[in-house]
Structure 1
Amino acid sequence: MEKSDVEELRSGVLCAAVLERAGFAVDRKESTKRAVKFRRDDEIIIVIHDGKGWFDPLSDAKGDVFRLVEHLEGVPFVAALDHVADLIGFVPSQPIWTKVPSRNRPDLSIPERWQSRLKPWRGSMTWRYLRDERRLAETVIGAAIGQDRLREGPRGSMWA
């Protein structure tokens, strides 16, 4: 077999096809778009590089589609070539990755966004940051709040 034929097989068969034929199933909960986790009983294989590569997190095994067949079937490279050739045209049922829709929030002007945020209070994350990390006196923090110069930002951030 010519090297170009081997490369054609390598590019024509995804690791997911080999795994699906071998009885592995996608673990959607622990997969991402770039790293799809397949399970079969206690075995785990993670497919990467858009389906062209894989690795076994429980061992040092990794490689391309041919190495995957060798790993799973315990066969030499020549037998792996035949196995992969049999999978040309087989399309694995890939997980459908959908983007979670963001919350629909109306577009607010900057003053409206400022007013929608809470003023810091004694013990809030902003208050503690300014007092403990930035070492500002509580009177200074209180004066900034009194002049409407501070707000609690999202996820513990501070607006000033």
Structure 2
Amino acid sequence: MSSNIEMGQIVGSGPAVMNLAELLATRLLVQGNSGSGKSHLLRRLLEQTGNLVQQAIIDPEGDFVSLAEAYSHLVIDAAEHTEAALQAAGERMRVHRASVVLNLEGLDADLQMRRAAAFLGGMFDVPRAHWYPVLVVVDEAQLFAPAAAGEVSDE
């Protein structure tokens, strides 16, 4: 896959493009101050790739649920499911190549971390035969990587 996606415009230079194949083969961290446009950039990336690659969106604040209708993503409300059910959902989304928004809105930080871990664990535990390219986006990733030990349980 060598598909360039347009992310915006460079003043005086034309379109700003990102190579989707390169993105899928590597990692991307979007970092900035509050209000700097991180979520806007992620939304643009998701919109531009919504019909090109499977997506798994970990959404702690419910900001990306609206993508579901436009791109036929399945929305899973993590508050309504057990960790075992979310692990199974992660497995099934890989097997069936479905794009998913995992909505963590309304859960406390510890439950958000546990439910996201269960879902992602299910995604990564499937047999290699079901490993196809998938764009995994974790919004507000700092919520899942505490700065100091002891902020969340070891479990």
* Bigger Cα Rg: 1
Q: Is the TM-score greater than 0.5?
A: no
Specify which structure has the bigger relative contact order, considering alpha-carbon pairs within 8 angstroms and separated by 6 or more residues: 2
TM-score range for the pair, normalised by the shorter chain length: under 0.3
* TM-score normalized by the length of structure 2: 0.21
